[in-house]
Amino acid sequence: MELRKRSLTRQIDIDNSKYKSKKQKKNFSKIKSQIEDLSGEIWFELFAYFDGQSLINSFSKLNTSIESLLNDYRLPIHLNILCSNILIPYPLNSNQIISLKIDYSHINNNQIIDISSFVRLRSLSFISINDQQLERISKYSLNNLCQISIESTCAKFIIKIISIYFPNINRMILNSMQKEFLFKTFLHHQIKISQIEKLTLNGRIKLAKLARFWSFVPNLRSFSIINGGVHQCDYWMDEYIISHQKFPSNLSFIHINICDEDMSFSNLERLISKNVRYLIISGSMADDDLDDYLSSTNWIRLMSHCSNKLYRIKLDISSYFDPSDASGLQKTLSKFRKNPFFRNTIIQSKNFLITIKGYIQPT
């Protein structure tokens, strides 16, 4: 009898629960939600995926609520300029612009875009700008500017850009359009101490010039040379400059791309700061140097020269192997794969092109 009573009580509770659930669903179905009910923070998160013009094309004139958000000072805008007629699309305003990209490809060589009104500008990107235009822009007072990207042949004048034009910039990307990065002599009073902390060079630079470069960037923390990279300056080097180079004291991240097939492992070691914590080595080396790059002894020696803060070295390197020595290739691959030091790397060969990818780290 007691068991039957408990069963009936349980069934009543289940029925009541189902009734309440149905009632709640009916109440929810009566609530009409509108797109304007989304909070401003959610809208700002959505707007972050659009540049200024795309934002206006997609969301302007939908309703007054959304249009007021587009004009909100808190909304950061990224704007692209492709012609000499700079026009901020309504309802945006210049105080919202924090990132600006200007393509000078179709702009007169003697003309510059006046960006002095963009007081909140933090990031600036130029394409096909010439040196005269860049010099004139550098005279603008942009106190919040912290990052510059330049994709132009004038980017090869690296010292002028870093130490004269924009010495107060923290982060910089320079793409020299496959031109060699050059060092030009300037008067001492023209050069200011660069505040740059993160620098990416897209192009080629000679080993001796890179050794000279460190003295101009004492605050550098991160350095990358990619899509071109470091080469040895034919078959001679300025031994004195390289042997007396002084790395920035806080340089902890380095990405070196080797673009010259005569870059020996011993010269690669000379490119590495003792304070480095993260190191990336990419590019190609000569088959004569392959054994040195496959030697765990050499990599252990390189690591020992660095501080105990070195976390890992990422490898993405390649080299051609002598096509007439197929058996030697197999021995090389087998020896590398059996070496426990390289357990976190993969070595492959296709048409006698050897590629090594992965990472190594101190034990």
Q: Is the pLDDT of residue 208 over 80?
A: yes
Q: Is residue 248 part of a domain?
A: no
pLDDT at residue number 33: 61
Query: Mean pLDDT across the chain, nearest whole number?
Result: 85
pLDDT in tens, 129-138: 999 999 999 9
Q: Is residue 63 part of a domain?
A: yes
Q: Are 323 and 352 in contact (CB under 8 A)?
A: yes
pLDDT at residue number 254: 97
Q: Is residue 189 part of a domain?
A: no
pLDDT at residue number 19: 52
pLDDT level of residue 149 (50, 70, 90 thresholds): very high
| pLDDT mean over 221-240 | 79
| pLDDT mean over 266-272 | 89
Spatial separation of the C-alpha atoms in residues 36 and 137, rounded to whole Å = 41
- Domain residues for the domain of 123 are 38-128
pLDDT level of residue 110 (50, 70, 90 thresholds): confident
pLDDT at residue number 240: 74
pLDDT at residue number 45: 86
Give the residue with greater pLDDT, 258 vs 239.
258
pLDDT at residue number 1: 47
pLDDT in tens, 290-337: 899 999 999 999 999 887 789 999 999 999 888 888 898 899 999 999
| pLDDT mean over 65-70 | 82
pTM equals 0.83
CA proximity to 76, closest of 140, 124, 141, 120: 120
Share of the chain above pLDDT 90, in %: 47
Q: Is residue 43 part of a domain?
A: yes
Give the residue with greater pLDDT, 260 vs 142.
142
DSSP string covering 144-200, please?
A: T--EEEEESGGGGBHHHIIIII-TT-SEEEEEEEEEEPB-----GGG-------EEE
Q: Is residue 57 part of a domain?
A: yes
100 phi, psi to nearest 5 deg: -135, 130
CA proximity to 209, closest of 235, 231, 176: 231
DSSP string covering 285-329, please?
A: --GGGHHHHT-HHHHHHHHHHS-TT--EEEEEEEEE--TT-HHHH
Strands 312-320, 345-350: pairing is unpaired
Q: Is the pLDDT of residue 3 over 50?
A: no
pLDDT in tens, 173-207: 999 998 999 887 776 667 888 999 999 999 999 88
Q: Which range is least confidently modeled, 96-100, 258-262, 351-355?
A: 258-262
Q: Is residue 82 part of a domain?
A: yes
Q: Is residue 60 part of a domain?
A: yes
pLDDT at residue number 341: 95
Q: Is residue 341 part of a domain?
A: no
Spatial separation of the C-alpha atoms in residues 289 and 261, rounded to whole Å = 8
For the chain, what is the domain count?
1
pLDDT in tens, 115-132: 888 889 999 999 999 999
Q: Is the pLDDT of residue 8 over 50?
A: no
pLDDT level of residue 42 (50, 70, 90 thresholds): confident
Q: Is the pLDDT of residue 35 over 70?
A: no
